[in-house]
Amino acid sequence: MTIDWLQMLFGRLSLDALPSDIVTIGGAAMGVFGLLFIVGLITVTKRWRWLWRTWLTSLDPKKIGVMYIIVSGVMLLRGLADVVMLRAQQALFATGMDSPIGSDLFQQVFSAHGTIMIFFVAMGVIFGLINLIVPLQIGARDVAFPLLNSISFWLFFAGMALMNVSLIIGEFSAAGWLAYPPLSTLEYSPGTGVDYWIWALQIAGIGSLLSGVNFLVTIFTMRRKGMTLMKMPIFVWSVVGSMALVVFAFPILTATLGMLTLDRTLDTNFFTSDMGGNPMMYVNLIWAWGHPEVYILILPAFGAFSEIVPVFSRKRLFGYTSMVWAIMAITVLSFTVWLHHFFTMGAGANVNAFFGIMTMIIAVPTGVKVFNWLFTMFRGRISFKTPMLWFMGFIVTFTIGGVTGVLMAVPGIDFQVHNSLFLVAHFHNMIIGGVLFGAFAALAYWWPKFTGFRLHEGLGVAAFWSWLVGFVLAFAPLYILGLMGAVRRLDSYDASLGWQGLFVVAGVGVTFILLGVFFQVLQLAYSIWKRKELACDHDPWNGRTLEWATSTPVAEYNFATMEAVNDRDEYWETKYSRKRRNHPKYSDVLVPKNSGFGVYVSSAVVVMGFAIVWHMWLIAAIALIVTIVLAICVGLRENVERVITAKQVAESEKKLWKGAGA
Amino acid sequence: MSSVAETPEQKHLLSKTTIGFWLYLMTDCLLFATLFATFAVLRGATAGGPDGAEIYEMPVVLAETIILLTSSFTCGMALLGMMAKNTKQVLWSLVATFLLGLAFVVIEVAEFAKLIAEGHGPQASAFLSAFFTLVGTHGLHVSVGLLWLIIIGVLIWKRGLTSKLTRSLTLFALFWHFLDLIWIFVFTVVYLMGVVV
Amino acid sequence: MTVSHYVTGFILSLALTLMAYYVAVYHPTHSLVLLILVVLAITQLAVQLLYFLHLGEEVGPKLKQLSFWFMATSLIIIVVGSVWIMSNLNERMMHFSPQEKTEYMLREYDKGF
């Protein structure tokens, strides 16, 4: 038997893999030039060593959190660029005019839009916030496993990188964001697109899984003395729910993607139509993961709002206990509703009725939360700063989304509107109005804690209103179009249907959203430029929880001293009852040393994923071995911490609190 | 486990890593649950090929089961030796565990090779895809465990029972017992129920 | 955690394994055989959890037990739910040929979410 070494080395990769149509070339060129520009900038300013030491190899969760958020910010721009193409196609070209976006490319673009927005924007920003806030809110100095945390981030990064490589080399999946077979099987998608999709998700998913374990252990074993479970800030509770779902739902994704991989590479017959395979099983499994995933994203957003509302209403959170129970109820119930994603696939009335009722039940704890927020605001002294504006926008859009959701939980109604733009409008209500607005509110709220200056308020308000108006304009027409019968993923329709006007309105909405994003970018740039004028102290919003107690910017060790916690709103209580001690007694602090393993593992895994996508088996095998060796090295690491002495802590505290009136 | 970790920091680290690893095992349970669910759904989908009763060699499977169970027991002996600070007992128990685990993997590979040679490979039907994937994923876990076992064994032999190595050994024992637990269900659901129905 | 602890667990597990094997291989047509197998497997699960994985010996907040029960709940929901849904679907869609199945699922593919 002879082995074709060239085949082992290059697999199915050839020059044909480079993009050939004008739109993809444009996208690829933008990606490549953007990357080259950044690399050039770093080289010219001689920042490589600095970048490596202070960011890439850092195990400080605050820095890892910032890196998560930067990556998801960039990905948000790419996801938006995708959606501009989609809506432009539907508003301008879909009625028969010649379009630069062909049908196949259209399918690729919306698959990429969904995948990017869920996995690399929403997940990224959620993990970024968790990294930034959770250790501070529980009064800890670090997470349970700092290196694992870095590796998780770099796996997320690796998945993102692989996803974007598909823009330049090869193609992306054209099978929708969940790649239902048989469309995603070899027979209908013989190219590399679905493989890119699988491996980008698989790698990022394993990173999320490890993060989930890490943060659950952090929250359960590293809380400050005295912080019992029922004294934890509600954001931390929401993270408990979200991470529990990550830990218990993501393995389903891993296994399901694994089986799809086997179908595509080893010709097994899990989800094929012949040889006994059953594509419906894939749909069942992917939603058994997919529905909890929705709550993984939304719970931390709920948590962030539960922090923001009390602070800007100057009141305690109303119904803390019911909030905790609501979160836990949502966590468990989210495992019992997945069939509502495929009511129409053919299950009988009993099955549909059961899952329909469960879906309506899960709306109850969510309703409890909405009322808790409203009662917190009731008779509070509300100040409408940007975080609070985002909350107001959220409560309206999210409630509308919730109501349309319960509507579709009735199987009979779902039979009418399934597969339509009505559904698309519903879940964008939840994900933009819920997750994204939550993330924007959280970023505006916690930004000054980490930078020492506020974001410019006027530009923030402008961004909010542009987003809100854009959101309504972009999605209200979709509800109507959905009821008129417009299906999702539509690249052309007959002009006589009279849909074009509404699509144009939706397109105008997208323009407003783009304006909102423009204001946000402007706000960032302007605030950084004017940071001296916007400077603030460590507690700009009159906060309640522990993260506001420590200095700004936050020291590497988070807290200089570790006093026991007595109250739910610990900082609020101590602020007004106890004076800050003038001569605290410091002790030595252990912090993790930097480590490059995250970057190494990520590089090896990207190479492995790429090689498997292109069937370059030799390189894949080598990269797999390198990954295993790296994992062993991680396990064998010794001497992983360094000491910050009490004296250094004292000096750093003096510097950090200077000018803060201490 | 209190006799292993001496200082409060070591104790905290041990409980942190144990809980973290336990949570990982829970995620692994759900990974297997997904494969079990798939197997349960596809077990009848033989596409005209053989069903379980026709291809399983039950005495061999029973032998595999007893071997893995015994290895779980010897692994427990290693843990007891660790707590008694008896390096010799730890090493011999680990050698026994390794040999038993290796025997298990070898038997499984031989079983797979025979099925593939007879034309009953994972491509032949949905049932066989699910069978190979479920049993093979368990086998893969056992193989990873063997690699881990070699590393721990060699390091304990070279360095003795340091606090880091006792921590690793504690986690390894959890992992190994866990794999035996999964096998109970592979044995019952795949093999025994396969010959029953 | 003592030797006798492990020996007890080992012997019990061995006995349960052999019983299950005996029932399945020598009485495969008995009407209660599936039930017996399930009961034996769950008994052995409990034995190994207690004697090998020491699930009951945790002190302080019982995180291992808590996560185990949460995992068990979600596991049962997913496995039982999947089998229920899929058997229902199989029953109703049994008349499909592979070709029909393919066409049906290609139409199905964008109904989700």
Residue C22 host element (H or E) = helix C3-26
Question: What mean pLDDT is predicted for residues C98-111?
Answer: 76
Side-chain-side CA neighbours of A502 within 13 Å: the count stands at 19
Question: What is the distance between the alpha carbons of residues A183 and C107, in angstroms, rounded to a whole number?
Answer: 10
Question: What is the distance between the alpha carbons of residues A102 and A284, in angstroms, rounded to a whole number?
Answer: 31
**Tens digit of each residue's pLDDT (9 = 90 or more) over C31-77:** 889 999 999 999 999 999 999 988 877 766 688 899 999 999 999 99
The residues in A 145-184 lying below 8 A from C, measured between CB atoms, are 175-176, 178, 180-183
Query: Token digits for C59?
Result: 């002190």
Which residue of A240, A264, A269 is the best one to mutate when testing the B interface, meaning the one whose CB has the most B CBs within 10 A? A269
pLDDT of amino acid B7: 75
Backbone angles phi, psi at A382, to 5 degrees: -85, 130
Which of A216, A256, A275 minimises the CB distance to B34?
A256
- Residue C47: how many other CB atoms lie within 10 Å: 20
Chain C neighbours (≥3 Cβ pairs under 8 A) are A, B
Contact in structure between C55 and C65 (CB atoms under 8 Å): yes
CA separation, residue A541 to residues A134, A387, A500, A585, C56 (Å): 18, 11, 46, 28, 46
Is A348 inside any structural domain?
yes
**Which amino acid, residue A257?**
L
The 3-state DSSP composition of chain A as helix, strand, coil percent (nearest 5) reads 70, 0, 30
Cross-chain residue pair A255–B31, CB shorter than 8 Å? yes
Shortest distance between the Cα of C95 and any Cα of chain A, in A, equals 13
Query: Token digits for A342?
Result: 């495929």
Is A126 inside any structural domain?
yes
pLDDT of amino acid B1: 39
**Which amino acid, residue A15?**
L
- C-alpha gyration radius of chain C: 21
Q: How many CB pairs under 8 A join A and B?
A: 111
Shortest distance between the Cα of B185 and any Cα of chain C, in A, equals 7
Contact in structure between C63 and B19 (CB atoms under 8 Å): yes
Q: What ipTM goes with this model?
A: 0.94
Which of C85, C108, C113 minimises the CB distance to A423?
C113
Cross-chain residue pair A346–C89, CB shorter than 8 Å? yes
- Residue A379: how many other CB atoms lie within 10 Å: 9
Confidence check: pLDDT of C112 > 50: no
Cross-chain residue pair B126–A270, CB shorter than 8 Å? yes
Shortest distance between the Cα of A158 and any Cα of chain B, in A, equals 21
**Which amino acid, residue A341?**
H
Is B173 strand, coil or helix? helix
Chain B residues with CB within 8 Å of chain C CB: 19, 22-23, 26, 29-30, 33-34, 36-37, 40-41, 58, 62, 65-66, 69-70, 72-73, 76-77, 79-80, 83, 174, 177-178, 180-181, 184-185, 187-189, 191-193, 195-197
Contact in structure between A429 and A396 (CB atoms under 8 Å): no
Question: What mean pLDDT is predicted for residues C80-94?
Answer: 90
Chain A environment of C68 (Cβ under 8 Å): none
CA A315 from chain centre, in angstroms, equals: 30
- Residue A57 structural domain: 7-547+596-636
Which residue of A117, A243, A345 is the best one to mutate when testing the C interface, meaning the one whose CB has the most C CBs within 10 A? A345
Residue A529 burial class via C-beta count within 10 angstroms: exposed 0-12, middle 13-18, buried 19 and up? exposed
Is A347 inside any structural domain?
yes
Which of A213, A220, A268 minimises the CB distance to B24?
A213
Confidence check: pLDDT of B2 > 50: no
Is A646 inside any structural domain?
no
Confidence check: pLDDT of C111 > 60: no
Tally of domains within chain A: 1
Is A340 inside any structural domain?
yes
CATH number of the domain at B77, please: 1.20.120.80
Shortest distance between the Cα of A360 and any Cα of chain B, in A, equals 26
CATH number of the domain at A300, please: 1.20.210.10
- Which residue of chain C comes nearest to B3, CA vs CA? C1
Residue A644 host element (H or E) = strand A641-644
Which residue of C11, C59, C79, C94 is the best one to mutate when testing the B interface, meaning the one whose CB has the most B CBs within 10 A? C79
Cross-chain residue pair B83–C38, CB shorter than 8 Å? no
Chain C environment of A427 (Cβ under 8 Å): 113
Question: What is the distance between the alpha carbons of residues B143 and A628, in angstroms, rounded to a whole number?
Answer: 13
Residue C45 burial class via C-beta count within 10 angstroms: exposed 0-12, middle 13-18, buried 19 and up? middle
- Residue B133 structural domain: 8-42+57-196
The residues in A 384-423 lying below 8 A from C, measured between CB atoms, are 418-419, 423
Which of C17, C45, C87 minimises the CB distance to B66?
C17
Is A643 strand, coil or helix? strand
- Which residue of chain A comes nearest to B15, CA vs CA? A221
pLDDT of amino acid A660: 55
Residue A642 host element (H or E) = strand A641-644
Is A591 strand, coil or helix? strand
Tally of domains within chain B: 1
Which of B19, B30, B38 minimises the CB distance to A259?
B38
pLDDT of amino acid B6: 63
Which of B37, B177, B185 minimises the CB distance to C53?
B177
CA separation, residue B8 to residues A165, A650, B3 (Å): 48, 25, 12
Cross-chain residue pair B192–C20, CB shorter than 8 Å? yes
Sites in chain A below the pLDDT cut of 70: 1-2, 94-98, 578-583, 659-662
Chain C environment of B196 (Cβ under 8 Å): 24, 28, 33-34, 37
Is A580 inside any structural domain?
no
Backbone angles phi, psi at A173, to 5 degrees: -55, 140
Is A583 inside any structural domain?
no
**Helix crossing, A437-451 with A123-137: angle to 10°?**
50
Is B2 inside any structural domain?
no
In the DSSP assignment, the letter for residue A497 is G
**Tens digit of each residue's pLDDT (9 = 90 or more) over B60-78:** 999 999 999 999 999 999 9
- Which residue of chain C comes nearest to B37, CA vs CA? C79
Closest CA to B34 of C104, C71, A230, A111: C71
A44 CB within 8 Å of a chain B CB: no
**Tens digit of each residue's pLDDT (9 = 90 or more) over A324-339:** 999 999 999 999 999 9
Is B48 inside any structural domain?
no
- Residue A173: how many other CB atoms lie within 10 Å: 29
Chain A neighbours (≥3 Cβ pairs under 8 A) are B, C
pLDDT of amino acid C74: 94
Question: What is the distance between the alpha carbons of residues A471 and A505, in angstroms, rounded to a whole number?
Answer: 11
Is A15 inside any structural domain?
yes
Is B26 inside any structural domain?
yes
pLDDT of amino acid C113: 43
